[in-house]
Amino acid sequence: MAMKIRLARGGSKKRPFYRIVAADSRMPRDGRYIEKLGTYNPLLPKDSEERVKMNVERVQYWLGEGAQTTDRVSRMLEAAGLKDKVERSNPKKGAPGKKAVERAEEKAAKAAEAAEAGATPAEAPAEDAAVE
Protein backbone atom coordinates (compact mmCIF):
# COMPACT_ATOMS: atom_id res chain seq x y z
CA MET A 1 0.00 0.00 0.00
CA ALA A 2 1.43 3.41 -1.00
CA MET A 3 1.19 5.63 2.06
CA LYS A 4 1.17 9.42 2.05
CA ILE A 5 1.29 11.96 4.83
CA ARG A 6 -0.82 14.78 3.47
CA LEU A 7 -3.41 17.45 4.23
CA ALA A 8 -7.14 16.71 4.25
CA ARG A 9 -9.26 19.87 3.93
CA GLY A 10 -12.05 20.63 6.32
CA GLY A 11 -13.76 23.80 7.46
CA SER A 12 -16.36 25.83 5.68
CA LYS A 13 -16.22 27.83 2.49
CA LYS A 14 -13.45 30.47 2.58
CA ARG A 15 -12.45 29.26 6.09
CA PRO A 16 -10.02 26.37 5.46
CA PHE A 17 -8.84 24.02 8.16
CA TYR A 18 -6.66 21.01 7.47
CA ARG A 19 -5.97 17.70 9.18
CA ILE A 20 -2.52 16.20 8.72
CA VAL A 21 -3.27 12.55 7.99
CA ALA A 22 -1.62 9.30 7.01
CA ALA A 23 -3.64 7.89 4.14
CA ASP A 24 -3.47 5.50 1.23
CA SER A 25 -2.41 7.55 -1.80
CA ARG A 26 -5.30 6.11 -3.84
CA MET A 27 -7.95 7.55 -1.50
CA PRO A 28 -9.59 10.94 -2.19
CA ARG A 29 -8.02 14.03 -0.63
CA ASP A 30 -10.75 14.47 1.97
CA GLY A 31 -11.72 10.82 2.04
CA ARG A 32 -10.81 7.88 4.22
CA TYR A 33 -7.53 8.01 6.10
CA ILE A 34 -5.72 5.63 8.41
CA GLU A 35 -4.62 8.00 11.17
CA LYS A 36 -4.91 11.67 12.05
CA LEU A 37 -1.44 13.03 12.83
CA GLY A 38 -2.18 16.69 13.51
CA THR A 39 -3.85 19.88 12.35
CA TYR A 40 -3.00 22.96 10.32
CA ASN A 41 -4.93 26.23 10.47
CA PRO A 42 -3.68 28.66 7.77
CA LEU A 43 -5.85 31.51 9.08
CA LEU A 44 -3.73 31.92 12.21
CA PRO A 45 -0.60 34.12 12.19
CA LYS A 46 2.63 32.42 11.11
CA ASP A 47 4.25 32.81 14.52
CA SER A 48 1.32 31.20 16.38
CA GLU A 49 1.94 27.84 18.06
CA GLU A 50 -1.64 26.80 17.26
CA ARG A 51 -1.10 27.10 13.49
CA VAL A 52 0.53 23.67 13.09
CA LYS A 53 0.11 20.88 15.63
CA MET A 54 1.61 17.43 15.03
CA ASN A 55 1.99 14.17 16.90
CA VAL A 56 5.74 13.90 16.29
CA GLU A 57 6.12 10.26 17.38
CA ARG A 58 3.41 9.06 15.01
CA VAL A 59 4.81 11.12 12.11
CA GLN A 60 8.23 9.55 12.66
CA TYR A 61 6.61 6.10 12.83
CA TRP A 62 4.90 6.56 9.46
CA LEU A 63 8.06 7.96 7.89
CA GLY A 64 9.86 4.87 9.20
CA GLU A 65 7.20 2.70 7.55
CA GLY A 66 8.00 4.32 4.20
CA ALA A 67 5.26 6.92 3.96
CA GLN A 68 5.95 9.78 1.54
CA THR A 69 5.09 13.37 2.39
CA THR A 70 3.49 15.95 0.17
CA ASP A 71 5.42 19.15 -0.51
CA ARG A 72 3.45 21.26 1.98
CA VAL A 73 3.71 18.68 4.76
CA SER A 74 7.43 18.22 4.11
CA ARG A 75 7.90 21.99 4.53
CA MET A 76 6.11 21.79 7.89
CA LEU A 77 8.34 18.89 8.94
CA GLU A 78 11.43 20.84 7.88
CA ALA A 79 10.29 23.81 9.98
CA ALA A 80 9.77 21.47 12.95
CA GLY A 81 13.24 19.97 12.45
CA LEU A 82 11.98 16.44 11.72
CA LYS A 83 13.25 16.33 8.16
CA ASP A 84 16.36 17.62 6.41
CA LYS A 85 15.82 20.75 4.34
CA VAL A 86 15.60 19.94 0.65
CA GLU A 87 16.73 22.39 -2.02
CA ARG A 88 13.85 22.97 -4.42
CA SER A 89 14.30 24.03 -8.02
CA ASN A 90 11.85 26.53 -9.47
CA PRO A 91 13.56 28.10 -12.49
CA LYS A 92 10.56 30.28 -13.38
CA LYS A 93 10.25 31.83 -9.91
CA GLY A 94 12.39 34.89 -10.63
CA ALA A 95 11.18 35.47 -14.19
CA PRO A 96 8.60 38.25 -14.61
CA GLY A 97 5.25 37.52 -16.23
CA LYS A 98 4.09 38.65 -19.67
CA LYS A 99 2.43 41.88 -18.52
CA ALA A 100 5.42 42.90 -16.42
CA VAL A 101 7.70 42.38 -19.43
CA GLU A 102 5.36 44.48 -21.60
CA ARG A 103 5.28 47.28 -19.00
CA ALA A 104 9.08 47.27 -18.77
CA GLU A 105 9.39 47.47 -22.57
CA GLU A 106 6.90 50.38 -22.72
CA LYS A 107 8.76 52.20 -19.95
CA ALA A 108 12.08 51.72 -21.74
CA ALA A 109 10.57 52.98 -25.00
CA LYS A 110 9.16 56.10 -23.28
CA ALA A 111 12.51 56.75 -21.61
CA ALA A 112 14.29 56.48 -24.98
CA GLU A 113 11.78 58.89 -26.57
CA ALA A 114 12.20 61.33 -23.69
CA ALA A 115 15.98 61.16 -24.03
CA GLU A 116 15.74 61.88 -27.77
CA ALA A 117 13.24 64.68 -27.22
CA GLY A 118 15.43 66.15 -24.48
CA ALA A 119 18.52 66.10 -26.71
CA THR A 120 16.79 67.65 -29.75
CA PRO A 121 15.45 70.87 -28.10
CA ALA A 122 18.81 71.57 -26.51
CA GLU A 123 20.48 71.59 -29.94
CA ALA A 124 17.74 73.57 -31.70
CA PRO A 125 18.08 76.84 -29.74
CA ALA A 126 21.85 76.83 -30.29
CA GLU A 127 21.31 76.53 -34.05
CA ASP A 128 18.64 79.25 -34.00
CA ALA A 129 21.01 81.58 -32.11
CA ALA A 130 23.75 80.92 -34.64
CA VAL A 131 21.42 81.67 -37.56
CA GLU A 132 20.27 85.01 -36.18
What is the rounded distance in angstroms from the CA atom of residue 73 to the CA atom of residue 110? Answer: 47
Top-confidence residue, 32 or 118: 32
pLDDT tens figures, 74-98:
999 998 888 888 887 878 788 888 9
Region 98-102: mean pLDDT is 92
Q: How many CB atoms lie within 10 A of CB 65?
A: 10
Q: Fold for domain 3-80?
A: S16 Ribosomal Protein; Chain: A; (3.30.1320)
Q: What is the DSSP string of 1-68?
A: --EEEEEEEEEETTEEEEEEEEEETTS-TTS--SEEEEEE-TTS-TT-TTSEEE-HHHHHHHHHTT-E
Q: What is the pLDDT of residue 109?
A: 92
Task: Give residue 81's region: left, alpha or beta (phi > 0; psi -120 to 50).
Answer: left
Rounded to whole angstroms, the Cα distance separating 62 from 103 reads 50
**Across 4-9, average pLDDT:** 94
What is the pTM assigned to this prediction? 0.65
pLDDT (0 to 100) of residue 91: 80
Contact 20, 38 (CB under 8 A): yes
User: Residue 103: which residues within 8 A CB-CB, separation 6 or more?
Assistant: none
Q: What pLDDT digit, counting tens, does each position of 23-52 carry?
A: 999 988 888 999 999 999 999 998 988 999
pLDDT, mean of residues 118-126: 59
Over pLDDT 70: what percentage of the chain? 90
d(CA 122, CA 118): 7
- The percent of residues in the chain predicted with pLDDT above 90, rounded, is 58
